[in-house]
Amino acid sequence: MKIDPITLAVMNNRLAAIAEEMGVVLGQTAYSPNIKERHDFSCAIFDARGELVAQAAHIPVHLGSTPLSVRAAIERLDLNRGDIAALNDPFAGGTHLPDLTLVAPIFIGNEPRPFGYAANRAHHADIGGIAPGSMALATEIYQEGFRLPPVKIVVGGEIARDVMTLFLANTRVSEEREGDLRAQIAALTVGSARLLGLVKSSGRATVEAAMDALKEYASRLMSAALRELKSGTYRGEDFLDDDGFGTGPIPIRVAIKIRGGNAIVDFAGSASQVRGSVNANYAITLSATFYVMKCLASEAVPANEGLMRPIKLLAPAGSIVNALPPAAVAGGNVETSQRIVDVLFRALAKAAPDRIPAASSGSMSNLTVGGFDRFRTRHFSYYETIAGGAGAAKGRPGASGIHTHMTNTLNTPIEALEAYYPMRITAYHLRRGSGGRGRARGGDGVVRELECLVDSNVSVLTERRKIAPYGLAGGGAGAKGKNVLVRGRNRTTLPGKTNIDLKPGERIRIETPGGGGWGA
């Protein structure tokens, strides 16, 4: 069945709107500020083969890798009506353990096979492990939290109590986890109903044909974008500061071969996987490549599986960009993903110098705080990523105080944080002058200072504290970030990756990196 351009555009927007509505439901019904306020989640729709056909404008690091989780669930489980699969295994398409993915099959009438799938992924603020927040320094995945291979969390429309009980027994904040998990289930219910409504109003044949046509359209647009570039091999290199255990700087290298509307992205020469948690699994590297290639196109490419058809990804097994178990991976998702983007853009700047921006802050500047809240008589676990400066581009300065590239969350409002947790924000403002100099200046980072009101355990997982975000075309580097422990009048600079205990009245101050400048 052929789809005319107008119908194709309408179907693209209607499918994306389903994913967006799923996100609205998830955000409004979630318990934790991380999901409700920061919107640290993603939603998407998949066809009968488990291929991505539409996604909401949520978190890039989630969306490029979620298809691998969906296919893992399909391959390992027999999903029937009313079933929902759950998994967080980074070696089965997941990203890191706090990111829990749910997958629901969608059936039409009495048909024996699913017509499609709805899926979402949300960051749970604690999933067990050696420290609250599940983002502490670790040397193997077993220290990072509860690892869940594909299992059924809902069977025939009813919660699988044994699986739920096992899941909740492995977190410090079980009530919050159950609330967030049920919000994910509610979002899938809405997504399934909306897709069936679309089939009813537009016809099954039309929807199926549109799904296939949208993937083919994305593939053609991506090929056209690659053909606009001069054929050749473009190389980039950048470094992670360290792994938290003395290894560093850690090189990531890429060679992008572009020819005839196709590209080979090869990470050969990158460092071997390391002891600390900055190892990225294959799903993370795929996500970062998906994101960069979508940004490369001069016109909007539908974010679906077809986009990667003209692109071949090579990531050596056992490397920092394709780590093997039992590697620790919490930081690979949030920090190494950002550096992979930096490396890819640095290589592509040689192919499209007028379109590629300088490096942005290059770190999600992760902060997790947990302990026992004596005011509310309950355990708590708080997680946030902190914004930085965006890199400048030709004719455009970088934005200040913004989440860039693989993160797309909001900040946690001070009012929500202080109402929910035993913490106080004592400073929150732009870090003036931290953007790199240039004809177009890089964006400024931010300063966020948090005071603990009870005994707390704090984990800091950050990058760009030793190696600054690069400028392009003669532009200056952005300022490096800085982490500071404030005890009375004493200030101590902390490593980029650390885990410490704080007493009431002590503060942690995060100064995030600025973006690189563009042009001399």
- Out of 201, 218, 235, a domain closes at 218
Amino acid 62: pLDDT:
82
> Rounded to an integer, what distance in angstroms lies between the CA atom of residue 263 and that of residue 265?
6
The pTM of the full predicted model, rounded to 2 decimals, is 0.96
Instruction: Flag whether 299 is in a domain.
Output: no
pLDDT band at 2 (very low <50, low <70, confident <90, very high): confident
As a whole number of angstroms, the distance between CA 205 and CA 203 comes to 6
183 in a structural domain: yes
Within-domain flag for 121:
yes
Chain centroid, CA 284 distance in Å? 8
Residue 244 within a domain? no
pLDDT confidence of residue 388: 98
**For residue range 100-135, what is the model confidence (pLDDT) as tens digits?**
999 999 999 999 999 999 999 999 999 999 999 999
Please state the three-class secondary structure of 429-479 as a single string: EEECCCCCCCCECCCCEEEEEEEECCCEEEEEECCCCCCCCCCECCCCCCC
Tell me the average pLDDT of the chain.
96
Q: What is the pLDDT of residues 13-23, one digit of tens each?
A: 999 999 999 99
* pLDDT tens profile 466-509: 999 999 999 999 999 999 999 999 999 999 999 999 999 999 99
Residue 80 falls in which region: left (phi positive, over 0), alpha (psi -120 to 50) or beta: beta
Residue 63 has pLDDT above 80, yes or no: no
Instruction: Categorize the per-residue pLDDT at 1 as very low, low, confident or very high, splitting at 50, 70 and 90.
Output: confident
What local confidence, expressed as pLDDT, does residue 17 receive?
96
**Which residue, 183, 218, 253, sits at the end of a domain?**
218
Nearest of 95, 118, 96 to residue 105 by alpha carbon: 118
Confidence of residue 298 (pLDDT cuts 50, 70, 90): confident
Tell me, yes or no, whether 248 lies in a domain: no
Residue-wise DSSP of 125-145: S---SSSTTS-S--SSGGGT-
Domain hosting residue 136, numbered range: 5-218
Tell me, yes or no, whether 86 lies in a domain. Answer: yes
Residue 436 — very low, low, confident or very high, per pLDDT cuts 50/70/90? very high
Query: pLDDT value at position 50?
Result: 96
Q: Is 47 part of any domain?
A: yes
pLDDT tens digits along 313-372: 999 999 999 999 999 999 999 999 999 999 999 999 999 999 999 999 999 999 999 999
Q: Is residue 209 part of a domain?
A: yes
The domain tally of the chain equals 2
Q: Which of 218, 239, 266 is the last residue of a domain?
A: 218
